Amino acid sequence: MPLLSKNMEIDQTQFADFLTYLAVEKGLAKNTLAAYRRDLKKFLIFAEEQELNPLNISQEMVTDFIAWLRGLNSTNKLEESSISRVVVVLRNYSKFYARENKVLDQLANFAPPKIPKRLPKALSITQISNLISAISKPDAAGLRNAALVELLYATGARVSEIVNLDVSDIEQVAETLSVRIVGKGKKERVVPIGKFAREALDSYLVRARPTWVREKSNGALFLNSSGGRLSRQSAWTLISMGAKEIGIAGEISPHSLRHSFATHLLDGGADIRVVQELLGHSSVTTTQIYTLVTIDLLREKYSETHPRAK
């Protein structure tokens, strides 16, 4: 894959204005903006190879771009889900460009390629209990890790939302302890937490966090041993290592706990709109993928228990 020439640097195109708009007006997270930037750079490389104007996007150009992405070698090849995301980025840019320049949006009716719907990986309640036991140690790091995993599972929050929490985001209302979470688009939601998460959080706040607090901590809830805010990469690593320790097959990440949270609530009879609100989804359609998990469970139990199922 060739390098971008100087005249194709992303910061020297209208794409830079688009990224600024997303950051300032839409309030997108840094990680999302970084993904947008990478996708747009791929498009610039394609446009340079084909000697096309990357700012004058057409449906034909995007169709050719998709074919180009699918034709990359195995090192650079994107999955269909990533290709679909790139198309969404270009559609958003096309809409922005049309509005800014008062021209027709060429991609208004262009749909990204459909991809097979994959069910999320949900852990069983036993697996989650074993995971928490595996990472729970009597030292400060162990207390923090246990509180982190308990809170991820108790709230269904994204790992970035959890590591960005401050102590002040933990709120006591009457007899209920809740967490104020800032999600995508800076949309806030309040999620109550139960007994296990509360006890783990109390132990961490009383016995571990005070030993790490420094001036640079700035009120962050989850700290590393030097007093800085715990990174999402560190959270990912400790959960992955804990899963391997107890022999859970496949790739387990903080997002697995989010999937488990939603699946277990629905299995327990929670209304899908309640789960939608707790997850911070803007549309119930996004949440409905979890109902497919519970339908699979329903079929399994039916097959196991119904006298005429076999």
Any idea which residues carry the catalytic annotation? Answer: 158, 184, 255, 258, 281, 290
Of 155, 82, 156, 142, which is closest to residue 112 (Cα–Cα)?
82
| Contact indicator for 87, 66 with CB cutoff of 8 Å | yes
Q: Indicate the residue type of 19.
A: L
| Contact indicator for 184, 29 with CB cutoff of 8 Å | yes
- In angstroms, rounded to a whole number, what is the distance separating the alpha carbons of residues 308 and 95? 55
| Contact indicator for 89, 32 with CB cutoff of 8 Å | no
Beta sheet of 176-182, edge-to-edge order: 170-173, 176-182, 188-193
| Contact indicator for 8, 51 with CB cutoff of 8 Å | no
- In angstroms, rounded to a whole number, what is the distance separating the alpha carbons of residues 91 and 275? 29
Q: Which residues pair with 223 in a beta bridge?
A: 229
| Contact indicator for 138, 210 with CB cutoff of 8 Å | no
